[in-house]
Structure 1
């Protein structure tokens, strides 16, 4: 495992763990969905530098469905933005599969960049839930 992957995993565990501990229902579901996606991706990842990974695509599509469902159930703006970030990750998978000029490196950079956006959304949702709980 590379250093940036380990740092990202630690950050994901911290933010999603905090979301599941202190967040509202939307933050807890989002944190659980993202952590499940991380673990599932680590389990199905094939170390093939020349072909797209269909297992990771399937996990990311399921995660996208979960984020869309969470967004429709809770009606919070940050959940909609998180679903949009996840849709961009799925679109990046599809771009690699459709066009051979798009490299797998582009996919990995895209997944890393947009996953930080997802973590930011979950962190914001957790902060907002804590703020709302203290205001009552």
Structure 2
């Protein structure tokens, strides 16, 4: 068995730390829709390793069910508050649900390709949350500038 490098061991922890920091920033700086979406993402990302079966072959049903519920929550938030960033976040979460299903049916997909595609989509989700924070802070600042007496 090949030994793992320090980088390979620390990568999941740094990814979770970045996700935690991004979602906490969204909860602190965001509006109600962003706080709900960030809290839902944070809960789903925290529960995923806890409920995962941990096997490399086949579909991990508990995580797939959790990700499906997260997708439905994000769709509801997107429709309720009509936020484009939330629709993009819901679409990316749908891709997260579809990736393991496709990998289950197509045995030609290597486990590392599955993991890399999942990591890329998760990173894109974090970028969308950061853009949503930026848009919310910018809108709040512009509203405050417009309300200031001249």
TM-score by length of 1: 0.92
- Say whether 1:112 aligns with 2:119: yes
Structure 2 gap segments, 5+ residues each: 1-7, 144-150
In 1, Cα distance between equivalents of 2:43 and 2:10? 21
* Structure 1 equivalent of residue 26 of structure 2: 19
Is 1:40 aligned to 2:51, yes or no? no
CA offset at residue 91 of structure 1? 1.1
Q: Distance in 1 between matches of 2:113 and 2:25?
A: 30
Q: Is the 8 A contact 1:52 1:104 kept in 2?
A: no
**Runs of 4+ residues over 4 Å off in structure 1:** none
Q: How many residues were matched structurally?
A: 136
> Which structure 1 residue ranges, 5 or more long, are not aligned?
none
| Residues 59 and 101, structure 2, Cα contact 8 Å, conserved in 1 | no
TM-score (norm 2): 0.84
Which whole-Å CA distance do the structure 2 matches of 1:46 and 1:66 have between them?
23
Moved more, 107-116 or 97-106: 97-106
What RMSD in Å do the two structures reach over aligned CA positions?
1.5
